[in-house]
Amino acid sequence: MNTEDFRKHAHELVDWMADYFENVEDYPVLPDIQPGDIFKQLPTEAPTSAESFDDIFKDFKDIIMPGITHWESPNFMAYFPANKSKASVLAEMLMSTLGSQCMIWLTSPAAAELEESVMNWVRDMLGLPKTFTGVIQDTASTATLCAILTARERATQFSVNEKGFEQQKFTVYASAEIHSSIEKAVKIAGIGAAQFRPIRVDENFAMLADQLEKTIEQDISQGFIPLCVVSAIGTTSTTAIDPIAAVSKICLKHKIWHHVDAAYSGTALVLPEMRWMSEGVETADSFVFNPHKWMFTNFDCTAYYVKDPVSLVNTFTITPDYLKTSVDHEVKNYRDWGIPLGRRFRALKLWFVIREMGVEGIQNTLRKHITLGKWLATEVIKHPDFELMAPVPLNTVCFRFTKGPEDQLDQLNEQIMNNINKSGKLFFTQTKLYDQFTLRLCFGNTNLEAYHVENAWQLIQDTAAALKQE
Amino acid sequence: MNTEDFRKHAHELVDWMADYFENVEDYPVLPDIQPGDIFKQLPTEAPTSAESFDDIFKDFKDIIMPGITHWESPNFMAYFPANKSKASVLAEMLMSTLGSQCMIWLTSPAAAELEESVMNWVRDMLGLPKTFTGVIQDTASTATLCAILTARERATQFSVNEKGFEQQKFTVYASAEIHSSIEKAVKIAGIGAAQFRPIRVDENFAMLADQLEKTIEQDISQGFIPLCVVSAIGTTSTTAIDPIAAVSKICLKHKIWHHVDAAYSGTALVLPEMRWMSEGVETADSFVFNPHKWMFTNFDCTAYYVKDPVSLVNTFTITPDYLKTSVDHEVKNYRDWGIPLGRRFRALKLWFVIREMGVEGIQNTLRKHITLGKWLATEVIKHPDFELMAPVPLNTVCFRFTKGPEDQLDQLNEQIMNNINKSGKLFFTQTKLYDQFTLRLCFGNTNLEAYHVENAWQLIQDTAAALKQE
């Protein structure tokens, strides 16, 4: 493809992209397809000869688009949003054009220095301590793995890296409501899931600090070495807020690495009125949140902060001859700050988004989302046929339909969810609270307005009422 | 930013992008800046109010662009290329617009099914066994970590995952020329760098199979459990080709996981005449190569193939309630095939690239690159003042200037490289062979023509001659 062909096709794509943004609500949020429906339309072999871009783009529209779940739609209220914004998409266009490979300073100096700068901006926007140093990672799963590995190495003076496990029996702690990536990291690091200690939670689904301390002391008495506590600002099911200050105190006392997982909810710390969530974070060792979830920045973009970057770098550093440069002593070579060697120019999109929205613009949108969460929580509480299943500190609402015999409620609620998701009008997901099937809606889409939430609530009530009559 | 503003700015960007492609050779390949030059131009705090996109884009051009290393330039001959193509950039535009989060089938059915289909295409294009199943990962570093973790778990019936390390003393083997990511993975997996065995290489920098077997047998006699051999199709320094068939045989005999790292050179297997490199791959357990290096696809896009996907999935699987879906038993949920949970829609760009170039188009470009490598190798051999330092099986050429006292040659060659890189006309890097500073040029850029290589060679000769006269 020559440059003029590219120019022509890229302009065509821009119009399609803008139209998509304009009309995204016309698509069913969840596509009405069965496993294999897309696969069977695709040829089993790669084409020998070049195909025209018009044909490729046509297939994209005809074959791929009918199988897309529309994360861009404001009626997408499932999971956590993979939030983004138009400024972020514009940045991705430039990123892909430059194709910068940001493994070391020399391979993209502007990217390294913009990353350092923007990570400082974000740290200050969230009110994190000035002693924290940031680096962009791909996902919170990877960042949490980095935290646990750094904790492992700091605790053993880097001897697991060098000699492998000997007799160490480490333990890792987190609330029973913590994200599954913590246990995954515990496995990868060679610690073993049996040494992962899920700590009981209170009625708000927040970790019980006294249970944590009791478990730690029990482990110590049995010869375990408590390695790391992962506390959550916003768990995945209900966005519960663990008591960061109390956990920090326990970790300081026992010299345990304290990693704060704020993957989704961390963005809300941009709001001064939400800073109560992070009280005590000053003494934590590491903190992660995903601008690609609720800070309007395309996936992937995870912000990982550490108090002791030297330990992080020493955990991962490699310097083969072919990667040495003359400025290694005076620059940040981010290849040593995580697992992959290659890195995209992700700082650019975060820079575009923050500048295009301004801190106030981000704050206003977050406040709108949180207000909508509170509104639905109030509606649910008021409604005789529904029950709120968890507190709503932010914009994620967990509730269930309760009109019916208790032993049929799981099935009824699942039916409500499936019927609605199949309609294409709305997509939300479930969780389990008190071992009960729970509807879960999250309001974090960039384009979300009050009427989307009102419509969703109406649709849920209508669907439940219709099922009740059957 | 509303849709019409987006449309306007995106069209502006497309024209800038097309102009960049057209004029990329006008930029110095390596920017002439010092550490801190970009950072000091950036405000220390995020803006409170929104800024206009015109201002943001202006700063991109004025502040960021002067600090960019131009991986897109055909005069970029450093490292391995982060190759890409215009079709790939077009795909990235659509990917960022959809913002699909491809963790499970339900969250983007078309992405999951396209990934399965395109991974089959690529497997067959490379002549890999039909028994291999593919998945897209971010980088080869991560894929290799997956291989070593899966080997660890298969060897212990998943007991390290469950119970942690007990008394196991694993060993991992690779050529002394292998990429640094192997040792990094050995550390992360808790095996310990001391149990990494770099195996001696022959005069072609390929692993000595008999040395491998001797080391394995020695380890067994000392109570170690040989876990994994990583062989290279194309090492990083010189693209040396390890004897895959011989290694496979040894691995089969001793029941050791055989992982083939073809990160850069794997793409060349699209050429039937290069298939000798992968002879014996049928019995390997896993194979990785990066379409984002030499297959014209934007970073990140790593193709990872395994013979036993069940072991891979069992190593990483997690199924919390909030991720369960009704189709889990009949679809591929790629979240379980690697480390991060979140995943971009990377199959799309690979699909665009393969179709837009066709297999023949890819083959023709690869053949051109390999011919240029052979041409420079011949020129170097013919020249009395230069010495070829390694065989050139593909398109990476390692050589040095030899006119001068031996104890000054390292410095002289480094000077040649630095002078040229500073000129902005060309960017290449070094490696060390026989403990000697070695110039290393790689010809894999999408837009590379013969005259770029001829000019590079002339520039190196001229720079060396000028230094000699000083």
Phi, psi of B363 (to 5 degrees): -60, -45
Of A315-319, A434-438, B92-96, give the lowest mean pLDDT range. Answer: A315-319
State mean pLDDT over A260-275. 98
All residues of chain A having their beta carbon less than 8 Å from the beta carbon of residue B71 are 98-101, 107-108
All residues of chain A having their beta carbon less than 8 Å from the beta carbon of residue B342 are 82, 138-139, 141, 292, 299-300
Quote the CA–CA distance of A444 and A436 in Å, as a whole number. 25
Contact A49 B360 (CB under 8 A): yes
| CA-based nearest distance A319→chain B, Å | 8
Dmax (CA) of chain B: 75
Q: Tell me which residue in A63, A89, A330 faces B96 most closely, judged by beta carbons.
A: A89
| CA-based nearest distance A100→chain B, Å | 6
Residue of A nearest to B176 (CA): A320
Comparing C-alpha atoms, which of A233, A258, A236, A241 is closest to residue A179?
A236
| CA-based nearest distance A141→chain B, Å | 5
Mutation site for A-interface testing, chosen from B19, B89, B236, B398 by largest number of A Cβ within 10 Å: B89
Q: Tell me which residue in B42, B95, B360 faces A48 most closely, judged by beta carbons.
A: B360
Quote the CA–CA distance of B194 and A160 in Å, as a whole number. 10
Output helix, strand, coil percentages for chain A, rounded to the nearest 5: 50, 15, 35
Fold held by B100-344:
Aspartate Aminotransferase; domain 2 (3.40.640)
Residue B470's pLDDT is 66
The owner of tokens 């405000």 is B43
Quote the CA–CA distance of A272 and A278 in Å, as a whole number. 11
Comparing C-alpha atoms, which of A145, A160, A196, A192 is closest to residue B156?
A192
All residues of chain A having their beta carbon less than 8 Å from the beta carbon of residue B335 are none
Quote the CA–CA distance of A390 and A205 in Å, as a whole number. 8
Mutation site for B-interface testing, chosen from A107, A186, A316, A419 by largest number of B Cβ within 10 Å: A107
What sections of A24-108 are H helices per DSSP? 53-59, 86-98
Q: What are all long-range contacts of B397-402, with beta carbons under 8 Å and residues at least 24 apart?
A: B397/B373, B397/B440, B397/B441, B397/B442, B397/B443, B398/B237, B398/B238, B398/B431, B398/B433, B398/B438, B398/B439, B398/B440, B399/B438, B399/B439, B400/B436, B400/B437, B400/B438, B400/B439, B401/B439, B401/B460, B401/B464
Determine contact, residues B152/B189, Cβ cutoff 8 Å. yes
Mutation site for B-interface testing, chosen from A23, A25, A56, A126 by largest number of B Cβ within 10 Å: A56
CA-angle at B303, arms to B102 and B287, nearest 5°: 135
Burial class of residue A48, CB neighbours in 10 A (0-12, 13-18, 19+): exposed
User: With bands split at pLDDT 50, 70 and 90, how would you rate the model's confidence at A318?
Assistant: confident
All residues of chain B having their beta carbon less than 8 Å from the beta carbon of residue A322 are 79, 236-237, 429-431, 440
CA-angle at B310, arms to B307 and B311, nearest 5°: 80
Residue type, A59: D
pLDDT digits (tens, 9 = 90+) for A139-164: 999 999 999 999 999 999 999 999 99
| CA-based nearest distance B271→chain A, Å | 13
Determine contact, residues B160/A192, Cβ cutoff 8 Å. yes
How many beta-carbon contacts under 8 Å exist across A and B? Answer: 468
SS3 state at B111: helix
Neighbouring residues of A346: CB distance < 8 A, sequence distance ≥ 6:
A95, A102, A115, A136, A300, A301
Contact A318 B117 (CB under 8 A): no
Q: Tell me which residue in A67, A78, A90 faces B113 most closely, judged by beta carbons.
A: A67
SS3 state at A299: coil
Contact B88 A96 (CB under 8 A): yes
Residue A258's pLDDT is 98
pLDDT digits (tens, 9 = 90+) for A168-218: 999 999 999 999 999 999 999 999 999 999 999 999 999 999 999 999 999
User: With bands split at pLDDT 50, 70 and 90, how would you rate the model's confidence at A350?
Assistant: very high
All residues of chain A having their beta carbon less than 8 Å from the beta carbon of residue B20 are 97-98
Contact B361 A100 (CB under 8 A): no
In the sheet that B170-175 helps form, which strands lie side by side, from edge to edge? Answer: B133-137, B302-306, B286-289, B257-261, B225-232, B170-175, B196-199
State the angle between helix axes of B309-316 and B140-155 in degrees (0 to 180), rounded to the nearest 10: 90
Residue B328's pLDDT is 76
Contact B93 A92 (CB under 8 A): yes
Contact A320 B193 (CB under 8 A): no
Rg (C-alpha) for chain B, rounded Å, is 24
All residues of chain A having their beta carbon less than 8 Å from the beta carbon of residue B88 are 96
Contact B356 A51 (CB under 8 A): yes
Quote the CA–CA distance of B400 and B441 in Å, as a whole number. 11
| CA-based nearest distance B211→chain A, Å | 23
Residue A322's pLDDT is 65
Contact A93 B14 (CB under 8 A): yes
User: With bands split at pLDDT 50, 70 and 90, how would you rate the model's confidence at A320?
Assistant: low
Contact A299 B33 (CB under 8 A): no
All residues of chain A having their beta carbon less than 8 Å from the beta carbon of residue B138 are 138, 340, 342
Determine contact, residues B362/B379, Cβ cutoff 8 Å. no
Residue of A nearest to B330 (CA): A35
Residues A192-209 as b/e (b if ≥16 CB within 10 A, e otherwise) read: bbebbbebebeeebbbbb
Comparing C-alpha atoms, which of B367, B396, B329, B346 is closest to residue B100?
B346
Determine contact, residues B372/B395, Cβ cutoff 8 Å. yes
Contact B323 A180 (CB under 8 A): yes
Determine contact, residues A257/A147, Cβ cutoff 8 Å. yes
Residue of A nearest to B106 (CA): A69
Q: Tell me which residue in B7, B37, B361 faces A15 most closely, judged by beta carbons.
A: B7
pLDDT tens for chain B, 470 residues: list them. 999 999 999 999 999 999 999 999 999 999 999 999 999 999 999 999 999 999 999 999 999 999 999 999 999 999 999 889 999 999 999 999 999 999 999 999 999 999 999 999 999 999 999 999 999 999 999 999 999 999 999 999 999 999 999 989 999 999 999 999 999 999 999 999 999 999 999 999 999 999 999 999 999 999 999 999 999 999 999 999 999 999 999 999 999 999 999 999 999 999 999 999 999 999 999 999 999 999 999 999 999 999 999 999 999 987 666 666 777 778 899 999 999 999 999 999 999 999 999 999 999 999 999 999 999 999 999 999 999 999 999 999 999 999 999 999 999 999 999 999 999 999 999 999 999 999 999 999 999 999 999 999 999 999 999 997 76
Contact A96 B97 (CB under 8 A): no
Q: What is the DSSP string of A147-209?
A: HHHHHHHHHTTTHHHHH---S--EEEEEETTS-HHHHHHHHHTTS-GGGEEEEPB-TTS-B-H
Q: Tell me which residue in A164, A299, A323 faces B99 most closely, judged by beta carbons.
A: A299
Comparing C-alpha atoms, which of A71, A175, A52 is closest to residue B96?
A71
List chain A domain ranges.
100-344
Q: Does A324 score more than 90 pLDDT? A: no
| CA-based nearest distance B263→chain A, Å | 12
Contact A64 B4 (CB under 8 A): no
All residues of chain A having their beta carbon less than 8 Å from the beta carbon of residue B432 are 321
Contact B6 A20 (CB under 8 A): no
Determine contact, residues A239/A393, Cβ cutoff 8 Å. yes
Q: Tell me which residue in A46, A86, A89 faces B121 most closely, judged by beta carbons.
A: A46
Residue B195's pLDDT is 98
Contact B188 A339 (CB under 8 A): yes
Burial class of residue B202, CB neighbours in 10 A (0-12, 13-18, 19+): middle
Residue B250's pLDDT is 98
All residues of chain A having their beta carbon less than 8 Å from the beta carbon of residue B191 are 164, 190
Mutation site for B-interface testing, chosen from A42, A71, A224, A348 by largest number of B Cβ within 10 Å: A42
